[in-house]
Amino acid sequence: MVVGLSLCATKAFVTEENLMTYARLASRLGAAFIQVLEPKAVGHYAGLPVGLPATQQKILEDFYLKLNYQAAYRHLPLVVYYDYQRRRAGCAAAADRHVYVDTDGQLHACPFCQKPAGSALEGNLENTLQNIRKAGCPVTRNIVL
């Protein structure tokens, strides 16, 4: 089983020191990767100004690049940082490269889509995937890159 830790990178948390401490903890726990998620104004954060400023996004990007590409940090887990990739290339999901299947077997265009697009367990899976491909990822559809 692959172990990974998810980190919601809030304004209060994002410093280089905190991120490196988290990476060392993840390593001690045997994690293969750290998934970094930027907070969004949905769910418990609905209506709150939780978006990260560019300075903190840069700290996260440097953390991502350091742990994934610098030899001195190979002993630490890899970093998965969706917003870094999304800002540069758009969403890699929507049944193009992957989809997200939740614990109930519901298919989502990506891990950040709140509304399921169909079931992975019932119905015609190929048709559902084709519909997801046509619709795209609603989270990134209106983002200007």
Q: What tens digit of pLDDT does each residue of 111-131 get?
A: 777 788 889 999 899 998 888
| Phi, psi of 18, rounded to the nearest 5 degrees | -60, -40
Residue 101 amino acid letter: V
What is the distance, to the nearest Å, from the Cα of residue 1 to the centroid of all Cα atoms in its chain? 20
Nearest to 99 by CA among 136, 145, 143: 136
pLDDT at 144 over 70: no
> What does the alpha-carbon distance between residue 80 and residue 7 come to, in Å, rounded to a whole number?
10
Measure the CA–CA gap between 67 and 74, rounded to whole angstroms.
7
pTM, two decimal places: 0.74
Task: Please state the domain extents for the chain.
Answer: 4-89, 91-145
55-64, 84-93, 101-110, 112-121: which has the minimum mean pLDDT? Answer: 84-93
Alpha carbon of 39 to those of 11, 12, 27, 69: distances in Å? 9, 11, 23, 25
Instruction: Report the pLDDT value the prediction gives residue 143, as an integer from 0 to 100.
Output: 41
Q: What is the pLDDT at residue 92?
A: 67
Rounded Cα–Cα distance for residues 92 and 14 (Å):
25
Structure tokens at 71: 């030899």
Residue 142 has pLDDT above 60, yes or no: no
